[in-house]
Structure 1
Amino acid sequence: MAREQLQVLNALDVARTQWYHFTAIVIAGMGFFTDAYDLFCISLVTKLLGRIYYFDPNSASPGTLPPNVAAAVNGVAFCGTLTGQLFFGWLGDKMGRKKVYGMTLMLMVICSIASGLSFGHTAKGVIATLCFFRFWLGFGIGGDYPLSATIMSEYANKKTRGAFIAAVFAMQGFGILTGGIVAIIISAAFKNQFDAPAYKDDRGGSTVPQADNIWRLILMLGALPAALTYYWRMKMPETARYTALVAKNAKQAAADMSKVLQVNITEEKERVEELTMRESNNFGLFSREFARRHGLHLLGTTTTWFLLDIAFYSQNLFQKDIFSTIGWIPKADTMNAIEEVFRIARSQTLIALCGTVPGYWFTVLFIDTIGRFAIQLMGFFFMTVFMLGLAIPYHHWTTSGNHIGFVVMYGLTFFFANFGPNSTTFIVPAEIFPARLRSTCHGISAAAGKAGAIVGAFGFLYSAQSRDMSHRDKGYPPGIGVRNSLFVLAVCNLLGMVFTFLVPESKGKSLEELSGENEEAEQTAWTAASKPPV
């Protein structure tokens, strides 16, 4: 049986859309803007790193990072992100969302700059330093996932909560887009200033010394948006749900939200004490009661996010390899290093502009109408269809010259990833778990996703590159590794559809209704009723 909601929480649930909602979206969203920029800009410069530090004119693929180095450079930030999601997710429930929020942002700023300043006397030294700083950059990024999602869900009203959380996550699309635009601008500026000749048999012929500045500038600029929002993050009050239900400070919760909502809210100290002291609201993460109430929910959020990120991050990281295979980006030996960065950035920016960004905002528009479940199921279905559409006739796409058709279908997989599970897997874990475990459970779900991203970065990327190298040596056509990877990713999406049925629909319900925090102690009543008569 549901109980009457606390006044401070009810005021948040029924609040009309106000300026503070948009302020919270921008403040939290700029963290995700930075996250996406930092995580995905590395794929823009990996080929340049190969040209600068691993150029071997006698190799079958001169100027290409070895598969193990490419996997490390692309994937080490995901390892940091995974650990950061678990650690900061747990810390957000222990110390509060606001206290931890500033830590993650400063870590991102410092490590973005440090990544661009990576040093070393040898190629291995530079790459090792880069990987070190990108691990800690990922650690800070990881903390932003559970904290931003939880803060936005706890600030939002129940009518448009899905759209608000989706809008925070949609900033990721702008981060990806901005990364491509920044790379285009920087590479174009250097290209015009230092017009290097085409590929030659010596290292200096294809890569002017100034090219080393390009990747450093691209990485360091990721610190700027995070630094600009630090002050505003520190000004945000703690969420009322944490203050009231976890910290048990009714007075502070009422004062904070009275100021934010510009209404008078009574503190209801006795009601807060009653809710927080109730035994049914004090079970732990590893308790039987949690397993009974939310075990299947957590299994659903972790598996779907894991499967989604295998596909989503694999697609992002080997975009450049796919574009090279279909001939959309010319062979390396026909252009200099700066031109190659420019063309890769231009290709990825086009995909982001036409497929990635619109997908996010379709979710914002329709999630509170269609619902989380339907959007996630639809997204996984169409991702499966379009990946099979790429993989089955793969040799047709690579030999017929029909590059436009391939790029359109490839862009649609990104559209339905973002108008689908890439958004909903972020939103739902911030809604369905109790306040005292919300950040932790979101962190666990997000960490499962990053485990999938690691599989994509280290597994599929390494496998596709190494297979293609061996096939080229044997005279087979290029792209066989990429084609096989697309088949596996289609299977991952199909499994994602299956596990979606474990995730509840959260549209239009209050957070306490979803988590059961505002219900009577039904377990006690059930136990008493089930006792045999004396």
Structure 2
Amino acid sequence: MASGNIAVLNALDTARTQWYHITAIVIAGMGFFTDAYDLFCISTISKLLGRLYYYDPLTNKPGKLPHAINNFVVGVALVGTLTGQLVFGWLGDKLGRKKVYGVTLIIMVICAICSGLSFGYSAKSVITTLCFFRFWLGFGIGGDYPLSATIMSEYANKKTRGAFIAAVFAMQGVGIIFAGLVSMLLSSIFLGKYEGPNFQTNHVLSTEPQADYVWRIVLMLGALPALLTFYWRMKMPETGRYTAIIEGNAKQAAIDMGRVLEMEIQDDQDKLSQFKASNDYPLNSREFFQRHGLHLIGTMSTWFLLDIAFYSQNLTQKDIFPTMGLTNKDVNVSALREMFETSRAMLVVALLGTFPGYWFTVYFIESIGRFYIQLVGFFMMSVFMLIMGIKYDYLKNEEHKWIFAALYGLTFFFANFGPNSTTFVLPAELFPTRLRSTCHALSAASGKAGAMIGAFVVQSYTLDGDIKKIKHTMIFLAFTNILGFCCTFLVTETKGRSLEEISGEDGGQNETQMTNKQRVTRSEASWEG
């Protein structure tokens, strides 16, 4: 049975782009804005925490978080995110997208505020409290990944679906920019009041009196966009596909989607019952593996490999930031001066490398396609990382700083105009409605597992700053990108097709089930069209 014969599905696929689609992008995108801000702002304040809570009066040197504690402070939210992705992804299919969508925001608001209010009588108790709330903050953030992607894919029409999902994810780039900007502005405000000539020689003066307020304000401000979004998120109706295909309520789906699309839709209850019965198989079934097994392996492996490389790129920052003049080579700068420079460096990289890549994907994803953008992105990342690995000792010299900066920025650009965006889009399109949120969650959780390997295992290997180790690591990361390039062939192009056609829910064959001859025939027809 073709999905086009079911009125509500056909209406969603063919609807013109309306104000409601833009509203949905903004509502879902603000969640990702908050996610990025909350996850990345910790990088701007981690050194400040070391200054405040790990100062040694015997050496009179600026305090520093021990490596293991720094990893825990920065990484505990990633662990929470992975857990939240799995839990809320599963709940999104069982209880409905809307029912659990608001819960993620509530958790994020409460935990962002509580992170800034972390308390204790000792450094250990403050950091422990902070890590506790950062874990649950990550738990809420994790839910936003599968739910935002699934909701946007199920609301969008088939011609602009990829651009809409990519636009939601692109708000992550805006969140990173604001994480750097807010941290830079706050540190600058207090620097203007307290910075003086004695900061470089006295710890009491080099750690400004108001520094303890600054990091708390930065963390608590993460609650604001989530709080502002909550009302509008609760006003969104459940997606028509969930209401119709999973709940089996064609009448309610037609009413809900007819209202938002401003059109009258037939309910087609009798057709829908037949449609629903033909797709009733669980995730751990042989039928699922035959239909979608290769796709799930593809989305999980590519996201995993991408995040190993993406989160490992920080290992070059200690060389490129001072070389470019973004941070001070003098280790005795004041606490807030150090925070200001770290935030400024994050802002510059986000503006020039990260942010443009996201929006190039939004603009080109429907013309180039997800598949080719992902292939090109992985390939170009591999090329640039290989060059940096082979020529690292040459590039880190100040006379070659612009080449170093260009390679570093282009790696971020092609990560985002490439697999960092498409690995988010594809799992929201490839799988059937009743398992879409769960499969996206499994893919995203694989990515976060890769992120933890990149951020902690890979970077720990180069902790001593040995140039040979950094070169070997960059070459290794180039190889992981080539593996991601190869694993991309396990997924398929999804542009221009309905979700039911892609997944085979309409009674046809999905990509996994098709013969090579059928794939070629459809591909030729697509190019001719």
The answer to whether the superposition gives a TM-score over 0.5 is yes
Deviation at 1:216, TM superposition (A): 1.1
Distance of aligned partners of 1:87 and 1:93 in 2 relative to their CA distance in 1, 3 Å threshold: same
Does the 8 Å CA contact 2:111/2:137 hold for their aligned counterparts? yes
Deviation at 1:481, TM superposition (A): 4.8
1:100 maps to what in 2? 100
CA distance in 1, matches of 2:107, 2:316: 27
Does the 8 Å CA contact 1:72/1:458 hold for their aligned counterparts? no
Taking structure 2 as the reference length, the TM-score comes to: 0.92
- Cα-to-partner distance string for 1:437-475 (whole Å, 9 max, x where unaligned): 00000000000000011112221233332x33xx6xxxx
2:32 maps to what in 1? 32
CA distance in 1, matches of 2:319, 2:147: 34
2:117 maps to what in 1? 117
1:309 maps to what in 2? 307
- Pick the aligned partner of 1:287 from 273, 285, 288: 285
- Pick the aligned partner of 2:434 from 414, 433, 436: 436
User: Which residue identity is paired with 2:435?
Assistant: L
Distance of aligned partners of 1:124 and 1:70 in 2 relative to their CA distance in 1, 3 Å threshold: same
1:502 aligns with 2:471: no
1:512 aligns with 2:500: yes
1:208 aligns with 2:208: yes
- Pick the aligned partner of 2:447 from 445, 449, 452: 449
Deviation at 1:385, TM superposition (A): 1.1
- Cα-to-partner distance string for 1:217-262 (whole Å, 9 max, x where unaligned): 1111111111101000000000000000001111100000110111
1:493 aligns with 2:481: yes
- Cα-to-partner distance string for 1:360-406 (whole Å, 9 max, x where unaligned): 00000000100101000000111111112222211122234432321
User: How many equivalent residue pairs?
Assistant: 511
Does the 8 Å CA contact 2:320/2:396 hold for their aligned counterparts? no
User: Which residue identity is paired with 1:359?
Assistant: G
Matches within 5 A, 1:28-107: 28-56=28-56, 62-107=62-107
Matches within 5 A, 1:78-477: 78-197=78-197, 203-278=203-278, 281-315=279-313, 319=317, 322-324=320-322, 328-465=326-463, 467-468=464-465
Does the 8 Å CA contact 1:188/1:342 hold for their aligned counterparts? yes
Deviation at 1:58, TM superposition (A): 6.7
Does the 8 Å CA contact 2:158/2:496 hold for their aligned counterparts? yes
Does the 8 Å CA contact 2:326/2:344 hold for their aligned counterparts? no
CA distance in 1, matches of 2:360, 2:69: 37
- Cα-to-partner distance string for 1:103-150 (whole Å, 9 max, x where unaligned): 001101111111111112111211111111110000000000000000
Secondary structure at 2:64's aligned position in 1?
coil
CA distance in 1, matches of 2:40, 2:387: 25
Structure 1 residues without counterparts, runs of 5 or longer: 472-478, 527-534
- Give the stretch that moved more between structures: 455-464 or 17-26: 455-464
- Give the stretch that moved more between structures: 29-38 or 338-347: 338-347
CA distance in 2, matches of 1:518, 1:390: 48
Distance of aligned partners of 1:307 and 1:174 in 2 relative to their CA distance in 1, 3 Å threshold: same
Does the 8 Å CA contact 1:50/1:65 hold for their aligned counterparts? yes
Does the 8 Å CA contact 1:329/1:343 hold for their aligned counterparts? yes
CA distance in 1, matches of 2:155, 2:432: 15
- Cα-to-partner distance string for 1:69-109 (whole Å, 9 max, x where unaligned): 11111111000000000000000000000000000011011
CA distance in 2, matches of 1:163, 1:149: 12
CA distance in 2, matches of 1:213, 1:375: 43
Deviation at 1:38, TM superposition (A): 0.6
Distance of aligned partners of 1:167 and 1:198 in 2 relative to their CA distance in 1, 3 Å threshold: farther
Secondary structure at 2:426's aligned position in 1?
helix
Does the 8 Å CA contact 2:33/2:172 hold for their aligned counterparts? yes
Deviation at 1:27, TM superposition (A): 0.2
Q: RMSD value over aligned CA atoms?
A: 2.1
User: Which residue identity is paired with 2:23?
Assistant: T
- Cα-to-partner distance string for 1:6-49 (whole Å, 9 max, x where unaligned): 11010110111110110000000000000011111111111111
Secondary structure at 2:5's aligned position in 1?
coil
Does the 8 Å CA contact 1:322/1:482 hold for their aligned counterparts? no
User: Which residue identity is paired with 1:518?
Assistant: D
Distance of aligned partners of 1:35 and 1:57 in 2 relative to their CA distance in 1, 3 Å threshold: same
CA distance in 1, matches of 2:61, 2:321: 16
Task: Give percent identity, aligned residues only.
Answer: 62
Secondary structure at 2:311's aligned position in 1?
helix
CA distance in 2, matches of 1:101, 1:328: 39
Distance of aligned partners of 1:316 and 1:227 in 2 relative to their CA distance in 1, 3 Å threshold: farther
- Cα-to-partner distance string for 1:192-225 (whole Å, 9 max, x where unaligned): 0111556656531421231111111111111111
CA distance in 2, matches of 1:317, 1:155: 40
- Cα-to-partner distance string for 1:52-76 (whole Å, 9 max, x where unaligned): 2223377798533221111111111
Distance of aligned partners of 1:379 and 1:393 in 2 relative to their CA distance in 1, 3 Å threshold: same
